Structures are given as C-alpha cells and as structure tokens.
Amino acid sequence: MAPTSDAVHPDMIYMKIPVGMLQCNCQIIGDPKTLEAIVIDPGDEVERILSMLGALQAERQSDHQHTCAH
C-alpha cells in the first residue's frame, strides 16, 4: 500500500514519519505538481524515507534539513 499525504491542502504533500530508536519525527513536504520535496530531520532509516519518496513519486529531493541533534 502506497503512503498517503497527511496534508490538509490537496496541492501539498506532507508526511510525518517517526524514525530511529528515539522515534524522531521526520517530515516530507513537497509539491505534487513538480514532484519536488524537502526532507526535514531525516535522522535514521534512510532506505525507508527514500522508499516513501519513491512511492509518492517525489523523485527530486530539493533539500534536506536537520533541526536538532539527538
């Protein structure tokens, strides 16, 4: 089953994914029209995050941000 966006607005991709031992919230925010996305606090579980990006067809990652260090 493909992941779905948690976005309130249909013109936006938004997903919150708990990752790693501390279950920190990784977030994927993107544009479903351009298929560009940003990953915020990827932390851990890179393969899982990349597979979710692929399932959303967000093939071009424009950036990634780390907002904390646990």
Per-domain boundaries in the chain: 13-65
pLDDT at res. 8: 66
The pLDDT tens digits of the residues spanning 20-66 come to 888 888 888 888 888 888 888 887 888 898 888 888 776 655 555 66
1 has pLDDT over 50: no
16 has pLDDT over 70: yes
Going from the C-alpha of 11 to that of each of 5, 30, 58, 69, the distances in angstroms are 10, 9, 13, 31
- Phi, psi angles (nearest 5°) of residue 38: -120, 140
pLDDT at res. 2: 46
pLDDT at res. 70: 53
Helices (DSSP H) in 1-70: which residue ranges?
46-55
pTM over 0.75: no
CB 56 within 8 A of CB 13: yes
